[in-house]
Structure 1
Amino acid sequence: MIDRRGLFSYLAITFVTTYAIEGALILTGFRVTDIPPLYGQFVVVGVMWVPALATVLTIKFVTHEGFGITNFRIGPWRPYVATALVIPATFVVIYALTWLLGLGQPDWQLTGFRALMAASGADLSTMPLPAVFLVTLFFASLVIGPTINGIFGFGEEFGWRGYLLPKLMPLGKTQAYLLVGLIWGLWHAPLILVGFNYPGYPLLGVVWMAALTTAMGIYLNEMTLRYRSSLLAGWMHGAINGQGYGAWRILFTNVNPLVGGFTGLVGITMWLGMGVWMVRRRQPRSEHASMAEVEDAEIGESEVA
């Protein structure tokens, strides 16, 4: 049975708080330009913790059900290592396809990025060679993405896959996954409307973002349910953000965001394929029986409650 009271509380707190904060920020003139104002960046990063706040407030003051539902645990270490490698590899494929399909060309000399830095007043003489800069940034993202970014990613994931997903699972996996993806995408709407991810496409961008979060969500949902860890979901979210807003954005500056790259049809299709593969891989398992089976499957792996 669906917990309507818990869902209403969670969604109301999440959306009203987020839209109010971001709406006020937008009214001050904030736009997601090439280099958004620093104060706005701090606000946007802080808003990533609103879904977690909504989860805590709902459980503590509305449903009084305890935090066991959120799978707030580390779980086995292997999926952390695996996803820290698989996610960057996925981005390599996404941008290789973008290039091979003629949807974007890599800017090996970083002319666009250097022009942006120069316009912001940066001293380009201190900047390393483009190849050195790109390689350093890419390898740094392998560590910083899931760790530092993962802290903020967990702020979202404690809500999306820690609370919302299990609350919707009584509807069945398909409906639950679709609803989580749609809600997750629409939550980004205010920022999309002012240039985030889809500059120049405010309305279509909202639709595309919902498609992207739904496609990515299948993979995240499957891993979260399999390993019963919302912390793993936060780690994966951080790894995705580290890749999506790091070296690849700097290298491919001329990609139509609706078609190529991480946010376009290429990225959406790639994530959808990964998600479907994960679902089919787990097909023999009952979607409601996975908890006990994972316990048995992970005997021998180190777990931290």
Structure 2
Amino acid sequence: MKNSSKQDLKPVAIFLSITLTLSSIFYFLIIYSGKIGGGQGLFATGLMWCPGVSALITMKILNRNISELGWKWGKTKYQVWSYLIPIIYVFITYLIIWFFGWGGFYNKEFVNGLTKSFGLGEIGDGATIALYVFLLGTFGMIGSAAHTLGEEIGWRGFLVPELFKKYGFTKTALISGFIWGVWHLPILLFADYNSGIPSWYALSCFMVLIVSMGFVYTWFRMKSGSLWTAVILHATHNLFVQGVFTALTVDMGNTAYYFDEFGIVMPLIAIGFAIYYSNKRNELKPVPIII
């Protein structure tokens, strides 16, 4: 009988094959429309759920119990930190950008639009921003998590634990992060999933960011035994990068080279977080999966 740590990669191959097949449908739709928001955003939603659907199909093919994907909540402290960590590294990123003048704070036009949409009169820009961040960071998490759950059932629910059995922490973080990044490339290169800067630059920054984040996501997934840590990490990242900090930043001409997921600053900050969690890898048990 094979030891679990020596299992072959057939399950991973099945999962990735199905993911690519399903994703190709939505790659086509997004690229043909030219916009990540094509189909009222439903093309992107479909794409984000391809890894999750693929994981469920793979579990069925392998005759495995889907409870192995890590559905239980685990210790709440890991979920709390999963919420806070993206806010911390995104906040650091944009403080640097605003401090050095690579982007301006704050986008008055965006805030005026918020004030108008709230319909609360002239409550002040600070109060408007605070109310928006509160609502987005609470109720907005529901919608964001519904999208990221589709990815995370696949990437951290199935792929990361499967790789971890054979490779341990560091290789699992690198491999899963690389696969996660490459999965985004068709829409980055052939649609508008970038900041309008040269593709080679956006691609380089994005891949460094995604692979670095893979270390954080892998550590929390394997430490907690719960895929919900990854769902929350991913949902919070998307909300605060796209919905808050990028939206509040004024374009100073070359800002796209510094901010968002395709600029240079966030990947550099993410490397620091990757190193930190890599140094904590000895805290992980072989396969701490809650079932």
SS in 2 for 1:289: coil
Aligned position for 1:25: 30
2:225 aligned residue (220, 225, 228)? 228
| Kept in 2: contact 1:23–1:190 (CA 8 A) | no
Aligned position for 1:41: 41
> Is 2:195 the partner of 1:190?
no
| Kept in 2: contact 1:185–1:214 (CA 8 A) | yes
Structure 2 counterpart of 1:56, which letter?
L
1:158 aligned residue (134, 153, 158)? 153
> Is 2:3 the partner of 1:9?
no
Aligned position for 2:162: 167
Question: How large is the RMSD of aligned CA atoms in angstroms?
Answer: 2.8
TM-fit CA distance, 1:20: 2.3
Aligned position for 2:3: none
Aligned position for 1:106: 105
| Kept in 1: contact 2:242–2:260 (CA 8 A) | no
1:130-169 residue pairs with structure 2 within 5 A? Answer: 130-169=125-164
| Kept in 2: contact 1:18–1:50 (CA 8 A) | yes
Q: Distance in 2 between matches of 1:3 and 1:70?
A: 18
TM-score normalised according to structure 1 size: 0.81
> Is 2:269 the partner of 1:270?
yes
Q: Distance in 2 between matches of 1:261 and 1:166?
A: 29
Q: Distance in 2 between matches of 1:124 and 1:220?
A: 35
What residue ranges of structure 2 are gaps of 5+ in the alignment? 1-5
What residue ranges of structure 1 are gaps of 5+ in the alignment? 118-122, 296-304
TM-fit CA distance, 1:187: 0.9
Aligned position for 1:301: none
TM-fit CA distance, 1:225: 0.6
SS in 1 for 2:193: coil
| Kept in 1: contact 2:205–2:261 (CA 8 A) | no
SS in 2 for 1:48: helix
Deviation digits for residues 179-229 of structure 1, max 9, x if unmatched?
A: 111111111112212221332333432333222111111111111110000
Worse-superposed segment, 210-219 or 78-87: 78-87
Percent of aligned positions with the same letter in both sequences?
20
